Amino acid sequence: MSTAWLVLVAVCWGAVAGALLPRAAYRFSVPPGEAWRERCPGGHPVRGWIGRARCRECADTRAYGPGAARLATATAAVCATLAAATDTRPELGVWLLLAPAGVLLTVVDLRVRRLPDALTLPFALVSLVLLGLVALVPEHAGDWPTALWAALALGALYFVLWLINPGGMGFGDVKLALGIGAVLGWYGWATVMLGTFAGFLLGGLYGGALVVAGKAGRGTAIAFGPFMIAGAWAGLLIGAGAA
């Protein structure tokens, strides 16, 4: 399959997968310590986790969660760039399966500053399991033991940062770091460092912009998960392209 067709398939996959995220994003978007949403704003039960966030029983049937079109567009764009960078190597299947989860985590953290254990821990486990299977397939371009060690190392780094400044970093970031370390570690330690640095750089630039604009102080906490995920995405693009 040519790269162009591969990217097209990735776009279609991302668009479909992203369009199915709004209901999960709505249900997961609750403050820390609260149970997942089980009812729509009108009080009717929300059934299932996949699909649009729209209640047919309400008089006003407008969507009450994040827009399906925006999530579909974002997920399709992420999948397309990953496909273009990874080409036909087998680990692309892992990146395409994980991309919707990354978009979902980004949306939830931006909405309520929470990275649910129900997403971060399976993300780490699934990453390692799938990459372990890919390591058995010819023509892969990564190293599974490095992915495992990188997951532990990045998790330990964020754990130390959380101990130093628990008010500035949530424990959900520590758990997310396990999965991010795994995917970045697949392409080696240089990719781990690059993706990690990119996340801190993006988060620092955003926080600095808020301070300059007068919308935040130096001690204001921000949702850092989206920047960790964006940094990992950038690291993967460069790591895959150089592999």
pLDDT at 165: 85
Q: What is the pLDDT at residue 61?
A: 59
84 Cα distance to chain centroid: 19
More confident residue, 11 or 218: 11
Instruction: Please name the residue that has the structure tokens 């101990």.
Output: 163
Query: What pLDDT digit, counting tens, does each position of 163-199 carry?
Result: 998 877 889 999 999 999 999 999 999 999 999 999 9
**Alpha helices, DSSP H, located in the chain:** 3-19, 22-28, 68-86, 92-112, 117-134, 144-164, 171-185, 189-212, 225-242
Return d(Cα 123, Cα 115) in angstroms, integer.
11
Q: What is the pLDDT of residue 65?
A: 75
CB atoms inside a 10 Å sphere around CB 139: 9
- Model-level pTM? 0.94
Q: What is the pLDDT of residues 1-19, one digit of tens each?
A: 688 899 999 999 999 999 9
Specify the 3-state DSSP secondary structure of 39.
Answer: strand
